[in-house]
Amino acid sequence: MTRSGNNAGTSRYDDDLENTWGCASWFEYIFTVIIASVLLIGATALTLFWVIYYRNGFAWRDDPKIQFNLHPVLMVAGFITLSGFSILLYRLCRCLKHIYAKMAHTLFHTLAIPCVAIGFLAVYDSHNLNSPPIPNFYSLHSWLGLVTMGLFALQFVIGFFTFLVCLCCAKMTYGCRGAMVPIHASLGLATFLLAIASCISGLTQKAIWTLGDQYSKFTEEGIIINALGCVFIALAILVSFAVRRSNAPATAKVYVTERL
């Protein structure tokens, strides 16, 4: 490894012979990108459809029950769709310079923050405005959601300082950034999968509360909720697989010490 870490701004795809792909790799790559995009957009689209078609759409402060509907939509948009695109874009993008891929990764995660914040306020508010007020933070779903938000915030702050701010003195921070890469990557995937676990527990409790006995009768809404859960699971498998596959650009040998 002769190159130093301060070439983060240069493209490292086209001029790298070791990284040349065959037809099968390209097919697998394009297939993964298309399916992942469809599922990531589909997750938010299906949640929107469910909420608008079966749960009476949106409101803010007028009706706590309808205000709640912002919660699933915004959380799925922030934690699944935007974060998922951010992860895949960083790991799979072959057409951007590395620093631009980093910026796009940060941008998508930044866009997720207001979604998560408003999504959190929507449910907190709707619990408190309900008469009688519904207690907060008692369910496993809420505990999981809190852990996910905490991990997301931690990853965002540490990632921002380590991989962007520390680029100001790229040579000095090379070792530190190198040590952080596997931790940030593992915890990032863990955060995404935790978000999916939170969504699954949230869908389960919403299905039981709102559908009750109807849930066991294979009603339309029950099947939509289960299908949404399956989309999340497909995403969990696809994203875990995509970011770890051996021929993803980011796992090619040349990046092991350089992708910092």
User: Contact, 60 vs 108, CB < 8 A?
Assistant: no
Comparison of 37 and 204: residue with beta carbon closer to a copy of itself: 204
- Residue labelled with tokens 């999340």: 232
- Written as six digits, the tokens of 131 are 């008469």
Residue at 132: amino acid letter: P
Q: Which of 225, 231, 252, 260 binds a copy of itself (CB under 8 A)?
A: 225
Question: How big is the chain, counted in residues?
Answer: 260
Q: How many residues form the binding site for a copy of itself (CB under 8 A)?
A: 46
User: Contact, 116 vs 149, CB < 8 A?
Assistant: yes
Separate counts of helices (H) and strands (E) for the chain: 8, 0
Q: How far is the CB of 11 from a copy of itself (least distance, A)?
A: 25
Q: Which of 118, 134, 158, 166 binds a copy of itself (CB under 8 A)?
A: 134
Nearest-angstrom CA–CA distance, 197 and 94:
30
Report 156-175 residues binding a copy of itself (CB under 8 A).
none
Q: How far is the CB of 208 from a copy of itself (least distance, A)?
A: 5
- Written as six digits, the tokens of 113 are 């923050």
Nearest-angstrom CA–CA distance, 64 and 53:
18
Comparison of 103 and 153: residue with beta carbon closer to a copy of itself: 153
Residue 7 touching a copy of itself (CB under 8 A): no
Measured CA to CA in angstroms, residue 207 lies from 34, 54, 88, 170, 221 at distances of 30, 12, 30, 50, 8
Residue 33 touching a copy of itself (CB under 8 A): no
Q: How far is the CB of 65 from a copy of itself (least distance, A)?
A: 16
Q: Which of 43, 80, 187, 260 binds a copy of itself (CB under 8 A)?
A: 187
Q: Which range touches a copy of itself (CB under 8 A), out of 6-14, 29-37, 157-165, 236-244?
A: 236-244
Residue 203 touching a copy of itself (CB under 8 A): yes
102 Rama sector, left if φ>0, alpha if ψ -120 to 50, beta otherwise: alpha
- Written as six digits, the tokens of 2 are 């002769």
Residue 196 touching a copy of itself (CB under 8 A): yes
Q: Which of 75, 236, 250, 260 binds a copy of itself (CB under 8 A)?
A: 236
Direct distance between the N- and C-terminal alpha carbons of the chain, in angstroms, rounded to an integer: 14
Chain residues that interact with a copy of itself, rule: CB under 8 A: 134-135, 138-141, 143-144, 147, 179, 182-183, 185-187, 189-190, 193-194, 196-197, 200-201, 203-205, 207-209, 215-218, 222, 225-226, 229-230, 233, 236-237, 240-241, 244-246
